[in-house]
């Protein structure tokens, strides 16, 4: 099956390819020649995921999915949430976001957080949604060189390593995106 992942983020594309496996041919926005940024103006993860998937479906008439992910930190009243990718400002780096988060967390004893991913799939014009969540804690100093985003400061419950200290295979088995993608795969397998 040929399907489009509505993203420019190569890290997300690589994770999705590993999770989906060889049964699907996954293309991303670069493969379509889509260079402009797709708007993400919704105030929810589901809204942003749907907005991106709908943009691609309307323009290319291809089955596609998009995701949006947010890190929700209890001590910051759920921030950065839907603004996770641009927490430190537009065009900021992963390190900028992590540094802002750690600055905001200084002196906070409650370090509980969760990652959420919502995947929006548009298949034959109909939207379907899949959510994944993983709970954990924010550590005080980044550790690890794998992954991306907030991975160096997030330790999932039941583990002592950050996502950035895990192999891609290990992270994908337990991550928010891995869980949402597993639901997507199950859905796709049931319609084949």
Return the active site residues.
68
> Taking a C-beta distance cutoff of 8 angstroms, is the pair 66, 53 a contact?
yes
C-alpha–C-alpha distance, residues 35 and 188, integer Å? 28
> Taking a C-beta distance cutoff of 8 angstroms, is the pair 171, 178 a contact?
yes
Question: Which two tokens mark 162?
Answer: 């950050």
Count CB-CB contacts under 10 A for residue 25.
12
Residue whose pair of structure tokens reads 């930190």 in the numeric block = 73
Q: For the CA atoms of the chain, what is the radius of gyration?
A: 16
């Amino acid at each position: 099956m040929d399907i489009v992942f509505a993203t420019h983020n190569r890290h997300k594309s690589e994770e999705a390819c590993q999770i989906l496996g060889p049964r699907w041919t996954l293309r991303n926005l670069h493969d379509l020649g889509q260079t402009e940024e797709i708007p993400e103006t919704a105030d929810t993860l589901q809204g942003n995921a749907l907005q991106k998937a709908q943009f691609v479906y309307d323009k290319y008439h291809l089955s596609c999915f998009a995701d949006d992910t947010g890190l929700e930190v209890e001590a910051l009243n759920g921030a950065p949430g839907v603004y996770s990718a641009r927490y430190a400002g537009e065009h900021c780096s992963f390190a900028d976001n992590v540094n802002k988060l750690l600055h905001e967390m200084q002196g906070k004893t409650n370090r509980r957080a969760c990652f959420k991913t919502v995947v929006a799939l548009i298949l034959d014009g109909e939207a379907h949604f899949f959510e994944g969540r993983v709970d954990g804690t924010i550590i005080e100093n980044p550790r690890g060189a794998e992954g991306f985003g907030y991975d160096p400061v997030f330790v999932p419950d039941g583990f002592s390593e950050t996502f950035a200290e895990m192999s891609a295979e290990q992270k994908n088995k337990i991550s928010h995106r891995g869980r949402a993608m597993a639901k997507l795969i199950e859905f796709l397998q049931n319609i084949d």
